[in-house]
Structure 1
Amino acid sequence: MPRLVAVCAVHQLHPDAGSVGVTAIDKRALDGPVRLGPLGVRADVQASRKHHGGRDKAVYAYSEADAAYWENQLGRDLHPGWFGENLRVDGIDVNAARIGEIWRIGDTVEVEVTMPRTPCATFARWVGGRDARGWVKRFSDEGRLGAYLRVRRAGDVRAGDAIEVLSSPEGAPTVLEVYRA
Protein backbone atom coordinates (compact mmCIF):
# COMPACT_ATOMS: atom_id res chain seq x y z
CA MET A 1 0.00 0.00 0.00
CA PRO A 2 1.41 3.41 -0.92
CA ARG A 3 2.12 5.62 2.07
CA LEU A 4 3.18 9.09 3.09
CA VAL A 5 6.80 9.07 4.29
CA ALA A 6 6.91 12.71 5.42
CA VAL A 7 5.08 16.03 5.31
CA CYS A 8 7.51 18.90 4.80
CA ALA A 9 7.46 22.68 5.10
CA VAL A 10 10.07 25.40 4.84
CA HIS A 11 12.87 25.07 7.37
CA GLN A 12 14.76 28.25 6.51
CA LEU A 13 14.82 30.86 3.77
CA HIS A 14 18.18 31.10 2.01
CA PRO A 15 19.68 33.96 0.00
CA ASP A 16 19.50 33.16 -3.71
CA ALA A 17 20.91 34.75 -6.86
CA GLY A 18 17.53 34.56 -8.61
CA SER A 19 15.16 37.46 -9.18
CA VAL A 20 13.36 37.07 -5.82
CA GLY A 21 16.60 37.13 -3.81
CA VAL A 22 15.65 34.26 -1.49
CA THR A 23 14.53 30.67 -1.85
CA ALA A 24 12.23 28.53 0.31
CA ILE A 25 13.44 25.24 -1.22
CA ASP A 26 14.95 24.14 2.13
CA LYS A 27 12.06 22.08 3.48
CA ARG A 28 12.13 19.57 6.36
CA ALA A 29 9.81 16.91 7.73
CA LEU A 30 7.26 18.02 10.33
CA ASP A 31 6.15 15.93 13.31
CA GLY A 32 2.57 14.97 14.09
CA PRO A 33 -0.54 15.86 12.13
CA VAL A 34 -0.11 18.67 9.60
CA ARG A 35 -2.94 20.59 7.95
CA LEU A 36 -3.22 20.52 4.15
CA GLY A 37 -5.46 23.24 2.78
CA PRO A 38 -6.26 24.77 -0.61
CA LEU A 39 -2.96 26.68 -0.65
CA GLY A 40 -0.81 23.83 0.66
CA VAL A 41 0.89 22.76 3.86
CA ARG A 42 0.20 24.96 6.88
CA ALA A 43 3.41 26.79 7.85
CA ASP A 44 4.99 26.38 4.41
CA VAL A 45 6.30 29.27 2.29
CA GLN A 46 6.92 29.72 -1.43
CA ALA A 47 9.37 32.55 -2.09
CA SER A 48 8.28 32.87 -5.73
CA ARG A 49 4.52 32.66 -6.08
CA LYS A 50 4.92 33.22 -9.82
CA HIS A 51 6.40 29.74 -10.21
CA HIS A 52 5.30 27.90 -7.07
CA GLY A 53 2.19 27.72 -4.96
CA GLY A 54 -1.39 28.67 -5.69
CA ARG A 55 -4.27 26.24 -5.90
CA ASP A 56 -2.93 24.17 -8.82
CA LYS A 57 0.54 23.91 -7.27
CA ALA A 58 -0.51 23.80 -3.63
CA VAL A 59 1.56 20.72 -2.81
CA TYR A 60 4.62 19.14 -4.43
CA ALA A 61 4.98 15.34 -4.12
CA TYR A 62 8.23 13.43 -4.63
CA SER A 63 8.79 9.69 -4.40
CA GLU A 64 11.09 7.87 -2.01
CA ALA A 65 12.30 5.65 -4.90
CA ASP A 66 13.32 8.68 -6.96
CA ALA A 67 15.04 10.25 -3.96
CA ALA A 68 16.95 6.99 -3.38
CA TYR A 69 18.05 7.03 -7.02
CA TRP A 70 19.46 10.55 -6.63
CA GLU A 71 21.09 9.68 -3.28
CA ASN A 72 23.01 6.97 -5.13
CA GLN A 73 23.86 9.28 -8.05
CA LEU A 74 24.98 12.20 -5.87
CA GLY A 75 26.53 10.14 -3.08
CA ARG A 76 24.78 11.97 -0.25
CA ASP A 77 21.74 11.79 2.00
CA LEU A 78 18.71 13.58 0.56
CA HIS A 79 16.32 13.88 3.50
CA PRO A 80 12.58 14.37 3.00
CA GLY A 81 12.11 17.95 1.83
CA TRP A 82 15.52 18.15 0.08
CA PHE A 83 13.87 18.38 -3.35
CA GLY A 84 11.64 21.15 -2.05
CA GLU A 85 8.79 18.66 -1.79
CA ASN A 86 5.93 18.93 0.64
CA LEU A 87 5.09 15.24 0.50
CA ARG A 88 7.64 12.42 0.32
CA VAL A 89 5.68 9.35 -0.78
CA ASP A 90 6.49 5.66 -1.12
CA GLY A 91 4.91 2.90 -3.17
CA ILE A 92 3.43 5.17 -5.83
CA ASP A 93 5.08 6.20 -9.11
CA VAL A 94 4.43 9.93 -9.06
CA ASN A 95 5.79 10.42 -12.59
CA ALA A 96 3.40 7.80 -13.99
CA ALA A 97 0.39 9.38 -12.28
CA ARG A 98 -2.18 10.70 -14.73
CA ILE A 99 -3.16 14.35 -14.80
CA GLY A 100 -6.48 14.53 -12.99
CA GLU A 101 -5.76 11.46 -10.85
CA ILE A 102 -7.28 11.71 -7.37
CA TRP A 103 -5.49 10.39 -4.28
CA ARG A 104 -6.80 10.06 -0.73
CA ILE A 105 -4.15 10.56 1.94
CA GLY A 106 -5.08 9.30 5.37
CA ASP A 107 -8.77 9.32 6.25
CA THR A 108 -9.99 12.57 4.70
CA VAL A 109 -7.53 14.52 2.54
CA GLU A 110 -8.01 14.32 -1.21
CA VAL A 111 -5.53 15.72 -3.72
CA GLU A 112 -5.53 15.88 -7.52
CA VAL A 113 -2.47 15.53 -9.74
CA THR A 114 -2.21 18.72 -11.82
CA MET A 115 1.22 18.98 -13.49
CA PRO A 116 4.89 18.02 -13.37
CA ARG A 117 7.56 20.00 -11.61
CA THR A 118 9.72 22.01 -13.97
CA PRO A 119 13.26 22.17 -12.59
CA CYS A 120 14.85 25.61 -12.50
CA ALA A 121 18.12 27.44 -11.85
CA THR A 122 17.18 27.94 -8.18
CA PHE A 123 17.01 24.16 -7.82
CA ALA A 124 20.42 23.82 -9.50
CA ARG A 125 21.92 26.37 -7.10
CA TRP A 126 20.38 24.43 -4.20
CA VAL A 127 22.06 21.22 -5.42
CA GLY A 128 25.33 23.11 -5.34
CA GLY A 129 28.93 22.18 -5.96
CA ARG A 130 30.02 20.26 -9.02
CA ASP A 131 26.56 18.67 -9.28
CA ALA A 132 24.91 22.06 -9.96
CA ARG A 133 26.42 22.34 -13.43
CA GLY A 134 23.98 20.81 -15.88
CA TRP A 135 21.62 19.82 -13.07
CA VAL A 136 18.40 21.09 -14.70
CA LYS A 137 19.06 19.06 -17.87
CA ARG A 138 20.21 16.00 -15.93
CA PHE A 139 17.17 16.06 -13.63
CA SER A 140 14.84 16.62 -16.61
CA ASP A 141 16.40 13.93 -18.77
CA GLU A 142 16.10 11.37 -15.98
CA GLY A 143 12.32 11.97 -15.79
CA ARG A 144 12.16 11.78 -11.99
CA LEU A 145 10.31 15.08 -11.65
CA GLY A 146 7.58 14.68 -9.08
CA ALA A 147 4.13 16.22 -9.37
CA TYR A 148 2.18 19.21 -8.21
CA LEU A 149 -1.14 18.54 -6.51
CA ARG A 150 -4.32 20.52 -5.95
CA VAL A 151 -5.98 19.97 -2.55
CA ARG A 152 -9.59 18.95 -3.20
CA ARG A 153 -10.49 18.12 0.40
CA ALA A 154 -8.53 19.72 3.23
CA GLY A 155 -7.57 17.99 6.44
CA ASP A 156 -4.71 16.69 8.51
CA VAL A 157 -2.09 14.24 7.28
CA ARG A 158 0.95 12.68 8.94
CA ALA A 159 3.89 10.45 8.11
CA GLY A 160 2.73 6.85 7.75
CA ASP A 161 -0.71 7.69 6.34
CA ALA A 162 -1.91 5.42 3.56
CA ILE A 163 -2.29 6.83 0.05
CA GLU A 164 -5.05 5.42 -2.11
CA VAL A 165 -5.63 6.23 -5.78
CA LEU A 166 -9.39 6.91 -5.89
CA SER A 167 -9.61 7.56 -9.63
CA SER A 168 -7.34 7.86 -12.63
CA PRO A 169 -8.79 9.33 -15.83
CA GLU A 170 -8.41 6.80 -18.62
CA GLY A 171 -6.40 8.18 -21.50
CA ALA A 172 -5.18 11.25 -19.63
CA PRO A 173 -1.46 11.91 -20.04
CA THR A 174 0.96 11.05 -17.26
CA VAL A 175 3.03 13.62 -15.41
CA LEU A 176 6.09 12.60 -17.42
CA GLU A 177 4.22 12.66 -20.75
CA VAL A 178 3.05 16.22 -20.08
CA TYR A 179 6.58 17.29 -19.21
CA ARG A 180 8.09 15.71 -22.31
CA ALA A 181 5.41 17.17 -24.60
Structure 2
Amino acid sequence: MAYLISVNAGTPIPTDHSSTPTTGIDKRPVDGPVRVTVPGPQGTAATGIAGDVICDVRVHGGPDKAVYAYAREDLDRWSAELGRMLTGGVFGENLTTSGLDVTGARIGERWRIGGGVLLEVASPRIPCRTFEAWLHESGWIRRFTERAEPGAYLRVLQPGEIRAGDPIEVVHSPAHDVTIGVAFRALTAEPALLPLLLAADELPERTKEKVRARLKQ
Protein backbone atom coordinates (compact mmCIF):
# COMPACT_ATOMS: atom_id res chain seq x y z
CA MET A 1 0.00 0.00 0.00
CA ALA A 2 1.26 3.45 -0.90
CA TYR A 3 1.30 5.99 1.89
CA LEU A 4 2.69 9.34 2.98
CA ILE A 5 5.81 9.09 5.12
CA SER A 6 6.02 12.81 5.87
CA VAL A 7 4.69 16.23 4.93
CA ASN A 8 7.55 18.72 4.72
CA ALA A 9 7.60 22.53 4.84
CA GLY A 10 10.46 24.98 4.48
CA THR A 11 11.59 28.26 5.98
CA PRO A 12 13.99 30.68 4.29
CA ILE A 13 17.73 30.17 4.68
CA PRO A 14 20.53 32.27 3.13
CA THR A 15 22.02 31.21 -0.19
CA ASP A 16 24.64 32.51 -2.59
CA HIS A 17 23.53 30.19 -5.37
CA SER A 18 20.14 31.56 -6.37
CA SER A 19 18.73 34.68 -7.98
CA THR A 20 17.30 35.50 -4.53
CA PRO A 21 19.27 35.92 -1.27
CA THR A 22 17.29 33.14 0.43
CA THR A 23 15.95 29.72 -0.51
CA GLY A 24 13.13 27.56 0.83
CA ILE A 25 14.78 24.26 -0.11
CA ASP A 26 15.39 23.32 3.53
CA LYS A 27 12.14 21.47 4.18
CA ARG A 28 11.48 19.51 7.39
CA PRO A 29 8.70 17.11 8.43
CA VAL A 30 5.68 18.78 10.01
CA ASP A 31 3.76 17.25 12.92
CA GLY A 32 0.00 16.89 12.78
CA PRO A 33 -2.39 17.67 9.93
CA VAL A 34 -1.30 20.10 7.23
CA ARG A 35 -3.70 22.10 5.11
CA VAL A 36 -3.36 21.69 1.33
CA THR A 37 -4.86 24.42 -0.86
CA VAL A 38 -4.86 25.65 -4.45
CA PRO A 39 -2.18 28.38 -4.53
CA GLY A 40 -2.34 31.69 -6.35
CA PRO A 41 -0.53 32.34 -9.64
CA GLN A 42 3.17 31.71 -10.02
CA GLY A 43 5.05 34.80 -8.90
CA THR A 44 2.98 35.34 -5.75
CA ALA A 45 5.13 33.15 -3.45
CA ALA A 46 2.14 30.88 -2.92
CA THR A 47 2.45 27.12 -2.46
CA GLY A 48 -0.10 24.41 -1.82
CA ILE A 49 1.27 23.42 1.60
CA ALA A 50 0.34 25.55 4.61
CA GLY A 51 3.43 26.91 6.35
CA ASP A 52 5.73 26.22 3.41
CA VAL A 53 7.87 29.01 1.97
CA ILE A 54 9.36 29.52 -1.47
CA CYS A 55 11.73 32.33 -2.36
CA ASP A 56 12.49 32.29 -6.10
CA VAL A 57 8.94 32.87 -7.29
CA ARG A 58 10.02 33.01 -10.94
CA VAL A 59 10.45 29.25 -11.05
CA HIS A 60 8.64 27.89 -7.98
CA GLY A 61 5.09 27.89 -6.69
CA GLY A 62 1.82 28.50 -8.47
CA PRO A 63 -0.93 26.04 -9.44
CA ASP A 64 1.27 23.79 -11.60
CA LYS A 65 3.95 23.50 -8.89
CA ALA A 66 1.74 23.59 -5.83
CA VAL A 67 3.25 20.50 -4.21
CA TYR A 68 6.47 18.55 -4.86
CA ALA A 69 6.65 14.81 -4.16
CA TYR A 70 9.66 12.47 -3.98
CA ALA A 71 9.72 8.74 -3.33
CA ARG A 72 11.47 7.35 -0.26
CA GLU A 73 12.68 4.47 -2.43
CA ASP A 74 14.53 6.92 -4.69
CA LEU A 75 15.98 8.71 -1.67
CA ASP A 76 17.22 5.36 -0.37
CA ARG A 77 19.07 4.67 -3.63
CA TRP A 78 20.72 8.07 -3.41
CA SER A 79 21.58 7.46 0.25
CA ALA A 80 23.40 4.27 -0.67
CA GLU A 81 25.28 5.98 -3.49
CA LEU A 82 26.23 9.07 -1.50
CA GLY A 83 27.08 7.17 1.66
CA ARG A 84 24.90 9.25 3.95
CA MET A 85 21.35 9.19 5.25
CA LEU A 86 18.95 11.45 3.37
CA THR A 87 16.04 12.49 5.55
CA GLY A 88 12.56 13.26 4.27
CA GLY A 89 12.40 16.76 2.79
CA VAL A 90 16.13 17.00 2.04
CA PHE A 91 15.48 17.21 -1.71
CA GLY A 92 13.09 20.09 -1.05
CA GLU A 93 10.07 17.83 -1.42
CA ASN A 94 6.79 18.57 0.34
CA LEU A 95 5.67 14.95 0.29
CA THR A 96 7.92 11.97 0.96
CA THR A 97 6.06 8.90 -0.28
CA SER A 98 6.37 5.14 0.09
CA GLY A 99 5.12 2.43 -2.26
CA LEU A 100 4.40 4.86 -5.10
CA ASP A 101 6.21 4.87 -8.47
CA VAL A 102 6.67 8.62 -8.77
CA THR A 103 9.02 8.40 -11.77
CA GLY A 104 6.55 6.13 -13.56
CA ALA A 105 3.54 8.32 -12.79
CA ARG A 106 1.84 9.62 -15.94
CA ILE A 107 1.36 13.34 -16.46
CA GLY A 108 -2.26 13.89 -15.42
CA GLU A 109 -2.32 10.94 -13.02
CA ARG A 110 -4.41 11.69 -9.95
CA TRP A 111 -3.62 10.75 -6.36
CA ARG A 112 -6.11 10.66 -3.50
CA ILE A 113 -4.36 11.23 -0.16
CA GLY A 114 -6.08 10.55 3.15
CA GLY A 115 -9.48 10.24 1.55
CA GLY A 116 -9.97 13.95 0.87
CA VAL A 117 -7.11 15.67 -0.90
CA LEU A 118 -6.85 15.11 -4.66
CA LEU A 119 -3.60 15.93 -6.46
CA GLU A 120 -2.70 15.73 -10.15
CA VAL A 121 0.77 14.96 -11.53
CA ALA A 122 1.88 17.97 -13.59
CA SER A 123 5.60 17.87 -14.43
CA PRO A 124 9.06 16.72 -13.35
CA ARG A 125 11.45 18.75 -11.23
CA ILE A 126 14.45 20.16 -13.13
CA PRO A 127 17.60 20.43 -10.94
CA CYS A 128 19.27 23.80 -10.35
CA ARG A 129 22.47 25.13 -8.82
CA THR A 130 20.67 25.93 -5.54
CA PHE A 131 19.86 22.21 -5.23
CA GLU A 132 23.49 21.29 -5.95
CA ALA A 133 24.85 23.79 -3.40
CA TRP A 134 22.35 22.64 -0.77
CA LEU A 135 23.50 19.02 -0.98
CA HIS A 136 27.23 19.92 -1.19
CA GLU A 137 27.72 17.32 -3.91
CA SER A 138 30.06 18.17 -6.77
CA GLY A 139 28.52 17.53 -10.18
CA TRP A 140 25.12 16.97 -8.61
CA ILE A 141 23.08 18.45 -11.47
CA ARG A 142 24.72 16.05 -13.94
CA ARG A 143 24.31 13.05 -11.62
CA PHE A 144 20.67 13.85 -10.84
CA THR A 145 19.95 14.30 -14.55
CA GLU A 146 21.61 11.00 -15.47
CA ARG A 147 19.60 9.11 -12.82
CA ALA A 148 16.33 10.59 -14.17
CA GLU A 149 14.38 10.12 -10.94
CA PRO A 150 13.30 13.75 -10.56
CA GLY A 151 10.19 13.59 -8.41
CA ALA A 152 6.89 15.17 -9.44
CA TYR A 153 5.26 18.57 -9.18
CA LEU A 154 1.55 18.30 -8.42
CA ARG A 155 -1.57 20.40 -8.82
CA VAL A 156 -4.21 20.59 -6.09
CA LEU A 157 -7.61 19.60 -7.46
CA GLN A 158 -9.37 19.14 -4.12
CA PRO A 159 -8.04 20.89 -1.00
CA GLY A 160 -8.07 19.41 2.46
CA GLU A 161 -5.79 18.18 5.20
CA ILE A 162 -3.10 15.50 5.05
CA ARG A 163 -0.67 14.02 7.55
CA ALA A 164 2.09 11.43 7.81
CA GLY A 165 0.69 7.92 7.50
CA ASP A 166 -2.18 8.83 5.17
CA PRO A 167 -2.80 6.29 2.39
CA ILE A 168 -2.18 7.34 -1.21
CA GLU A 169 -4.43 5.91 -3.91
CA VAL A 170 -3.99 6.37 -7.65
CA VAL A 171 -7.56 7.08 -8.72
CA HIS A 172 -6.97 8.05 -12.35
CA SER A 173 -4.26 7.36 -14.91
CA PRO A 174 -4.41 8.86 -18.43
CA ALA A 175 -4.27 6.70 -21.56
CA HIS A 176 -1.01 8.23 -22.86
CA ASP A 177 2.46 6.98 -21.89
CA VAL A 178 4.08 10.29 -20.95
CA THR A 179 5.48 9.62 -17.49
CA ILE A 180 7.45 11.87 -15.17
CA GLY A 181 10.58 9.99 -16.20
CA VAL A 182 9.92 10.37 -19.94
CA ALA A 183 9.09 14.07 -19.56
CA PHE A 184 12.26 14.69 -17.55
CA ARG A 185 14.49 12.92 -20.04
CA ALA A 186 12.88 14.79 -22.94
CA LEU A 187 13.33 18.18 -21.26
CA THR A 188 16.94 17.52 -20.29
CA ALA A 189 19.30 14.99 -21.93
CA GLU A 190 17.11 13.32 -24.58
CA PRO A 191 15.42 16.00 -26.74
CA ALA A 192 14.53 13.36 -29.33
CA LEU A 193 11.69 12.44 -26.93
CA LEU A 194 10.16 15.94 -27.01
CA PRO A 195 7.46 15.15 -29.62
CA LEU A 196 6.04 12.53 -27.24
CA LEU A 197 5.24 15.14 -24.60
CA LEU A 198 2.51 16.82 -26.66
CA ALA A 199 0.33 13.73 -26.14
CA ALA A 200 -0.07 14.81 -22.50
CA ASP A 201 -2.73 17.53 -22.44
CA GLU A 202 -2.23 17.90 -18.68
CA LEU A 203 1.36 19.10 -19.08
CA PRO A 204 1.64 22.75 -17.91
CA GLU A 205 0.93 25.22 -20.71
CA ARG A 206 4.31 26.92 -20.20
CA THR A 207 6.06 23.61 -20.69
CA LYS A 208 4.06 22.82 -23.81
CA GLU A 209 4.99 26.22 -25.24
CA LYS A 210 8.68 25.50 -24.59
CA VAL A 211 8.36 22.10 -26.23
CA ARG A 212 6.72 23.55 -29.34
CA ALA A 213 9.36 26.27 -29.57
CA ARG A 214 12.19 23.74 -29.32
CA LEU A 215 10.60 21.52 -31.96
CA LYS A 216 10.46 24.44 -34.39
CA GLN A 217 14.19 25.10 -34.04
TM bucket, shorter chain: over 0.9
1:56, CA displacement in angstroms?
0.3
Moved beyond 3 Å, runs of 4+: none
Length, aligned pairs only: 178
Aligned to 1:157: 162
Q: 1:36-47 alignment to 2 at 5 Å?
A: 36-39=36-39, 40-47=48-55
Which one of the candidate residues 99, 102, 106 is aligned to 1:98? Answer: 106
Alpha-carbon distance in structure 2 between the residues aligned to 1:84 and 1:16: 17
Which secondary structure state, in structure 2, belongs to the residue aligned with residue 179 of structure 1? helix
How far is the alpha carbon of 1:180 from its aligned partner?
Answer: 1.1
Taking a change above 3 Å as real, the CA distance of residues 12 and 48 of structure 1, as seen in their structure-2 partners, is closer
Q: Give 1:112's aligned residue.
A: 120
RMSD over equivalenced CA pairs, Å: 1.0
Q: Which has the higher strand share?
A: 1
User: In the alignment, which residue of structure 1 is the partner of 2:13?
Assistant: 13
Structure 2 distance, partners of 1:14, 1:89, is 28
Q: Does 1:54 align with 2:59?
A: no
Give the SS at the match of 1:94. coil
Q: Gaps spanning 5+ residues in structure 1: where?
A: none
- After TM superposition, give the deviation of residue 11 of structure 1 in Å: 4.1
Q: How far apart are the structure 2 equivalents of 1:69 and 1:30?
A: 24
Q: Which has the higher contact order (CA 8 A, sep 6+)?
A: 1
Instruction: Give SS of 2:87's match.
Output: coil
Q: TM-score of the superposition, structure 1-length normalised?
A: 0.95
The reply on whether 1:125 has 2:130 as its aligned counterpart is: no
Match of 1:32 in 2: 32
- The separation in 1 between residues aligned to 2:118 and 2:147, in whole angstroms, is 28
Work out the CA distance in 2 between the residues paired with 1:102 and 1:134: 33
Unaligned runs of 5+ in 2: 40-47, 187-217
3-state SS, counterpart of residue 176 of structure 1: helix
What secondary structure does 2:169 align onto? strand
2: CA distance, partners of 1:10 / 1:18: 16
- Name the counterpart of 2:190: none
Q: Quick one: distance in 2 between partners of 1:16 and 1:38?
A: 30
For normalisation by structure 2, the TM-score amounts to: 0.80
CA contact (8 A) 2:17 2:129 kept: no
Listed one character per residue, the Cα deviations across residues 49-103 of structure 1 (whole Å, up to 9, x for unaligned) are 1111100000000000001011111111211110000000000110100000000
**Equivalent of 1:143 in 142, 145, 148:** 148
* CA–CA separation in structure 1 for the residues paired with 2:49 and 2:85: 24
User: 1:172 Cα shift?
Assistant: 3.9
- Structure showing greater Rg: 2
Partner residue, 1:166: 171
